Chain A
Amino acid sequence: MIKNDLKIALRQLLKNKSFSIINISGLAIGMASVIMLLLWIQNEMSFDRFHAKGDRIYELWNRAKWDDKLECWPVTPKIAAKSLRTHYPEIEKVIRVDWPNNRLLITKDKRLFSHGNAVDPEFLSTFSFPLLKGDINTVLSQPRSMLITPKLAEKLFGKEDPIGRVITLEDKKQLTVTGIIANPTNNTRFDFEYLLPWKFTELDEGEEENWNNNSTRTFVLLKENIDFSTIQNKIKTLRKDYSGVNDVYEMFLYPSYKWHLYGSFTNGFEDGAGKIQMVILLSIIAGFILLIACINFMNLSTARSEKRAKEVGIRKTIGAHKSALVAQFLSETILLAAFGFVIALLLVKLCLPAFNKLSQKELYIDFANPYFWIFSISFILLTGLLAGIYPAFYLSSFNPVKVLKGTFKSSGKAVTPRKILVVFQFVFAITLIVATIIVNQQINHVVSRETGYNNKNIIFHFLTSDLTKNYEILKQELLAQNLVQSVTKTNAPITERWSDSWGFEWEGKDPNDRTDFDRYIVDDAIVKTAGLKLLQGRDFDLKKFPTDSNAIIINESTLKVTGFKDPIGKIIIDGEEPFHVIGLIKDFVINSPYEPTTPMMMMGAKNGWFNVIHLRLNESTAAQDIKKIEQLFKKYNPEFPFNFKFADEQYAKKFDDMQRVATLASIFAVLAIFISCLGLFGLAAYMAENKVKEIGVRKVLGASVLNITTMLSANFLKLVGIAFLIATPLAWYFMQKWLSDYQYRISIEWWVFLVAGTIAFVISLLTVSYQSLKAALSNPVKNLRTE
């Protein structure tokens, strides 16, 4: 029977080519989008879920009051590991993982930058990163040992065996490769090309015992069958118990399965936000895209039901049960879905590279995985059922007497559901169009926000190797050759906040004030170099005022917090060290451009350290000058490549995430409108076909082409109009909610909806009027005769 059903299905598909093409292409596009989204979702959901001991792995977090709010964060003192090992019998292993570090690796004939971490040796037996070569018990036991991934091994040593080879770091430290660790997969938070033993970090400065320096990430592996709530309770007072001070910080353990998707806290507790929101949102969108593709099938099948009615009548007459007919129609849809799926796979293959670029992932379809095939079959069946179940029951319910007598007209019964489904499609499409416009508006709004400084023509470079030593002479030469307007060194790039503190004191400060200040360390001429807007006082000028290493420039937000009437000359104490205010600048955006600017202390070098050199280029000759600047950098820092960054490009990167959302929204909007219009096109074609006689009669009676086109198109456009009315408040609600996450945001304007509605309206008009015009232009005599 199934063979017979499939045979008929195939013949039906071949016979009704336009119907099949519309349906298969709609389904294929829908399914391809869903497959890509599912690949993304699956990747997100699988993050760090592959560790065999994952149910016992936790990360150590802090919880403390901050600006009157309970904040949570996972950066911990290095010394915490020692206390955890000593005092908590419930804990099997403690692992510290330092921040990813980009190091210059030098071999006899290669020198390249590579990123990796220093980890406690227990890392290998806790997390499931397979050790491909080497003894797990000894590979990280020596402070100068090193594990590398096959990827890095290939880059450094080609095909040669890397074990035992020596790699030199920029500071001449020599490391020996003791093992090979598998390349981390694309679904883990850990991203390394090499691993160093934790002891390596202690070679220079020894073991750090400062409980006040939150500086690393700490993970624990609990013993088996430990009561989690007991250990969680004990951990709470870790700092207080072992730091020797009455610390306000609480600590807690956060389970590995939540790291990637959750990990968002408000006022001390999980708030349900995090990646999971994107996962849910994209799952919903994937579902909707598939649904609107299925709706096309439902609508077209029921619209052309008259064509199938006779067959239903005959089959019922000769004794077919309704269930047999339902099965037959469903097998047709499933066959259609199967064709759609095959094309969808091809589409995915084509689009995946672009999607990977957009999502910054390395997604791929694992054809060798049996789960992929189980998924494929289930997906085809699900799509077939979703699209086919309603038409199957609708078609199989026909009364054989009526259809065989020829008195059957596909009744109004299916018309209303059809209209509802079309409205549904367009509600979705219009909502996505609104979303696309608003996300783009928000981006433009933030991009065009006054940054408070001139980020054009600034380049910065990290103070690698000899640059720290040769900074002064390099600076002099850059200025002497007139390659730059000014030079300064700072603790952080002008586009990033690396340090903050609430420990400043000043006269008249409220003792309860715990305002957190951005802390930006500079040596000289920062106002000139960054193009800041000086409102009062002067720039740093070490030549004229050697005491400027104890000077401070504050911004307007700081002025407000301190309440200084006349800030210049005021003293602000950082630690024990007094700093005198020499200038007041306008706030500038250093952190998130979506947030309001925050109070900042721009401080002289006294308490500071430097990481970055900033150069303000000459406006007209910047391009030529960079070559010469490179030569100077090479001269004073020969070991390192000249690896500079433009400040404006770095600033623009702050919008990458939002830009991705905008791109995704517009892709989905285009898909939704395309699939919906594909369905509309098919429906219009059937309607024109059904009304061929009516059109003929009207034309004979004197109706113009315009009359008829309008009559035929109006029905559909009415539906788009209704969809517009429903979509407007919906889209307003969702976008309002989305915008509320950003403090610096646009307000939604009415014309956005009008534009979205017009776009949907015009596209549907074009879609429908092609069919309507074709029908209206046809020869009435011919039409009436064929009737």
Chain B
Amino acid sequence: MIKVQNLEKIYRTEEIETVALNNVSFEIKEGEFVAMMGPSGCGKSTLLNIIGMLDDLDAGSYLFNGTEVAKFNERKRADLRKHNIGFVFQSFNLIDELTVFENVELPLMYTGVASSERKRIVDEVLDKIQIAHRRNHYPQQLSGGQQQRVAVARAVVNNPKLILADEPTGNLDSRNGNDVMQLLTDLNEKGTTIIMVTHSEHDARFTHRIINMLDGQIVTQSLKV
């Protein structure tokens, strides 16, 4: 599904150049659940952002489902994202001014789903992640775990082929963390490809494969049994 070759990303300021990713190549197959690990600043989030088309790369190739997307303009990237990719963040990133229902509904609006259809889909997803009773609450009225469940609901509402999760349990206690990991595992079992950046060995255990990074490079790729 994803094939990255010789990827490079350099951050430049007036005084210094920082190589964030250096000659990174890897492949992820459809249906995989992959963890990216490594110390802070090793480039794993940058890599995740590039995969999610939130950031661009300076050199190398990025094939998404066989299409070269490295040179996509902003509009095409936005289109690719909204139809194919769901995001889950450590800090949930829900919109404070929208209710649970409206937050989850948002991606459907950008893909142009009709209003009645949206209602049906959102209700279904909220049911599935067992947060339907909170549908009219605002994010600040929910616990961290509940907020992250809403974020996951929002990530999956469009039925994306790929979910990118950046430390999804980083702000949660272990019980809520486990719940979220279970949610992701369920999604993966139903066929969604998931790439997750994490510091947690515990969370990594839920995945099929771990990519270890250091100083902008992939050091090991270990397949779990």
Enumerate chain A interface residues (CB-CB to B < 8 A): 1, 4, 7-8, 11-12, 15, 310-311, 313-322, 324, 400-401, 404-406
Contacts and interface: CB of A to CB of B under 8 A. Distances in A.
A4 B75 CA distance: 21
A4 B106 CA distance: 9
A406 B54 contact: no
Given A318-B81, A320-B78, A400-B54, A8 B49 contact: no
B97 A318 contact: no
Contact of A317 (B81, B83, B91): B81
A319 B93 contact: no
B91 A324 contact: no
B19 interface: no
B74 interface: yes
B107 interface: yes
A12 B91 CA distance: 21
Contacts of B142: none
Interface string B109-124: 1110000000000000
Given A324-B110, A404-B89, A318 B82 contact: yes
A400 B55 CA distance: 8
Contact of B78 (A11, A12, A311, A319): A319
B18 to A, nearest CB: 13
B45 interface: yes
Q: Which one of A311, A314, A319 has the greatest number of beta carbons of chain B within 10 Å?
A: A319
Contacts of A8: 95, 97-98
Contacts of B98: 8, 11
Interface in B78-93: 78-79, 81-83, 86-87, 89, 91, 93
A336 B102 CA distance: 22
Contacts of B55: 401
Given A319-B83, A319-B110, A314 B95 contact: yes
A318 B75 contact: no
Contacts of A405: 45
Given A318-B107, A321-B78, 13 more contacts: A8-B95, A8-B97, A11-B97, A311-B95, A313-B93, A317-B54, A318-B81, A318-B86, A318-B106, A320-B82, A322-B74, A400-B54, A401-B55
Contacts of A11: 97-98
Interface residue SS majority, chain A: helix
A313 B96 CA distance: 13
Contacts of B87: 317-318
Contacts of B109: 1, 4
Nearest to A15: B97
18 contacts: A1-B109, A8-B98, A11-B97, A12-B97, A310-B93, A311-B96, A314-B93, A314-B94, A314-B95, A316-B54, A317-B52, A317-B87, A317-B93, A319-B110, A321-B78, A401-B49, A404-B89, A405-B45
A311 B97 CA distance: 9
Nearest to A322: B74
A318 B74 contact: no
Closest 7 pairs (CB-CB, A-B): A319-B82, A11-B97, A318-B107, A319-B81, A319-B110, A401-B49, A314-B93
Given A318-B82, A319-B79, A319-B82, A404 B93 contact: yes
B54 A321 contact: no
A5 to B, nearest CB: 10
Nearest to B166: A404
B154 interface: yes
Contacts of A321: 74-75, 78, 110
A312 to B, nearest CB: 10
B118 to A, nearest CB: 10
A315 B106 contact: yes
Nearest to B112: A1
A7 B98 CA distance: 9
Q: Which one of B49, B83, B154 has the greatest number of beta carbons of chain A within 10 Å?
A: B49
Contacts of A320: 78, 82, 110
Contacts of A315: 95, 106, 110
A15 B97 CA distance: 8
Contacts of A7: 102
Contacts of B82: 318-320
Contacts of B91: 404, 406
Contacts of B81: 317-319
A324 B107 CA distance: 12
A12 B97 CA distance: 7
B111 A319 contact: yes
Nearest to B103: A314
B122 to A, nearest CB: 13
A318 B95 contact: no
Contacts of B107: 318-319
A315 B154 CA distance: 11
Nearest to A311: B95
B89 to A, nearest CB: 6
Nearest to B105: A4
Nearest to B111: A319
Interface string B37-75: 000000001000100101100000000000000000011
A318 B154 contact: yes
Nearest to A307: B96
A400 B78 CA distance: 12
A402 to B, nearest CB: 9
B203 to A, nearest CB: 20
A188 B45 CA distance: 73
B39 to A, nearest CB: 17
Nearest to A400: B54
Interface string B141-177: 0000000000000100000000000000000000000
B156 to A, nearest CB: 12
A321 B54 CA distance: 12
A518 B78 CA distance: 82
Contacts of B78: 316, 319-322
Nearest to B115: A3
A313 B49 CA distance: 12
Contacts of A322: 74-75, 78
A401 B89 CA distance: 11
A12 B95 CA distance: 11
Contacts of A314: 93-95
A452 to B, nearest CB: 72
Contacts of A400: 54
A310 B151 CA distance: 14
Interface string B184-204: 000000000000000000000
A737 B52 CA distance: 63
Contacts of A319: 78-79, 81-83, 107, 110-111
A228 B82 CA distance: 67
A317 B79 CA distance: 10
Contacts of B45: 405
A316 B54 CA distance: 8
Nearest to B110: A319
A401 B111 contact: no
A644 B213 CA distance: 101
A28 B83 CA distance: 42
A230 B195 CA distance: 87
A314 B102 CA distance: 13
B115 to A, nearest CB: 9
Nearest to A4: B109
Nearest to B50: A401
Contacts of A313: 93
A409 to B, nearest CB: 14
A11 B98 CA distance: 9
A116 B75 CA distance: 70
